């Protein structure tokens, strides 16, 4: 099997695990409480870093990972507290990696959090969960 498919399957499995664990945390510590937001932020941060450890490499210099998706979804569903924890963890890891792409990598972290929070701000007055089209456009933005 092609390594790209294996990396893609591993990243999808990581998203499924994130979804299940996030649901468990949300039942025990609601998202609008400090412990709930901090735990969600930590969970999403760990998953984003694991995703950064196994990027999808399409060629020399063409490396994709799911950090922007993870960060924006954390911001959308769990707010600024969780997004701050996730963003700080992933930015710190990207800084520790170093290299020529460090400024762009940290910028992607910040932009993903801002886009997720902006989408949350737009949807929240509607008092309903994000629709498929909201999620689609969020995915396009990040």
Q: What is the pLDDT confidence band of residue 122, given thresholds at 50, 70 and 90?
A: confident
Calpha distance 94→87 (Å, rounded): 10
Per residue in 88-120, pLDDT (tens digit) is 999 999 999 888 888 988 999 999 999 999 999
What is the crossing angle of helices 102-123 and 67-97, to 10°?
150
Q: What is the pLDDT confidence band of residue 12, given thresholds at 50, 70 and 90?
A: confident
Local structure of 105: helix, strand or coil = helix
Tokens of 92: 């710190």
Domain ranges, residue 134 = 3-141
Instruction: Calculate the dihedral angle through the C-alpha atoms of 63, 96, 80, 116, rounding to the nearest 10 degrees.
Output: -10
pLDDT of residue 138 exceeding 90: no
How many domains does one find in the chain?
1
């Amino acid at each position: 099997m092609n390594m790209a498919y294996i990396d893609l399957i591993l990243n999808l499995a990581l998203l499924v695990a994130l979804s299940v664990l996030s649901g468990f945390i949300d039942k025990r510590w609601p998202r609008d409480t400090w412990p709930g937001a901090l735990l969600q932020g930590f969970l999403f941060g760990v998953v984003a870093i694991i995703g950064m450890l196994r990027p999808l490499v399409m060629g020399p210099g063409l490396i994709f990972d799911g950090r922007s998706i993870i960060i924006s979804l954390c911001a959308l569903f769990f707010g600024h507290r969780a997004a701050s924890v996730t963003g700080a963890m992933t930015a710190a890891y990207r800084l520790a990696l170093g290299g020529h792409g460090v400024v762009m990598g940290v910028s992607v972290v910040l932009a993903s959090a801002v886009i997720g929070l902006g989408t949350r701000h737009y949807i929240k007055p509607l008092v309903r969960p994000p629709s498929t089209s909201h999620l689609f456009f969020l995915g396009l933005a990040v």
